[in-house]
Amino acid sequence: MKDWLKIIPEDERKAYEKGGFMNAGVIGERTALVVVDVTYGFCGSEGATLDEAIAEFGPACGPVSWETIPRIAALIALFRELGRPVVFTRSDLGDVQFVGKATKSKRLTSVTPPRFNDFPESIAPQSGEWVLEKTKASAFFQTPLASYMVQKQIDSVVMCGVSTSGCVRASVVDSFSNGFNTFVVDDCCFDRSNFAHCANLFDMNAKYATVVSSEELSAMLLGRQMQARA
């Protein structure tokens, strides 16, 4: 059993299954990867404790960020190898008075901390890859992301990043609502709360997405590629 399922009471899991939830989707032939908000502002500096990371950047998730980043880097490398689009999102740190904030938390001051919106080197976008700046939690909210996916003829959107319970979840719901077959890579997402991480993976898997591991996704993508070549 997946770790994130273990916190869900057995009777509740069974009730969801009886209700027709928890069904797995089939990945399409034209996939795109969305890397949600994996910047220093949501990670903190490498080697910092959670308390130290939060003191540096209020939304930071600390050590779990740096445990997850190597897996995200490998996932990005796979999509690049397959020639599939990779989109990176980060906060639009423009006029907060005008656009508001992504959440109701009190965490943005008039002065943005240095490096807040910088990507760790190991997952930094390459030339030609789109860095989408967003003002709200969802990568789709009042951005051209859905139009981009349509233009690229994408049928399946793969999500990873931070936080599982926040911007990842919001983006997943909107991806599903825009008609894309949506997948979440569980070991390539992270959150400052493990409980929130697990509970939201369960809920997304039940309603809006198919939650898979990076190993499972890799097998699905490579299998699709072999089918296309046959």
The residues annotated with a catalytic role in the active site are 167
Largest Cα span, the chain: 56
Judge whether 149 and 97 are in contact, CB under 8 Å.
Answer: no
Which of 51, 85, 47, 92 has its CA nearest to residue 69?
47
Which of 201, 191, 199 has its CA nearest to residue 61?
191
Residue 195 CB burial class (10 angstroms; 0-12, 13-18, ≥19): exposed
Query: How many whole angstroms separate alpha carbon 62 and alpha carbon 50?
Result: 4
Strand bridging mode 31-36 / 86-91: parallel
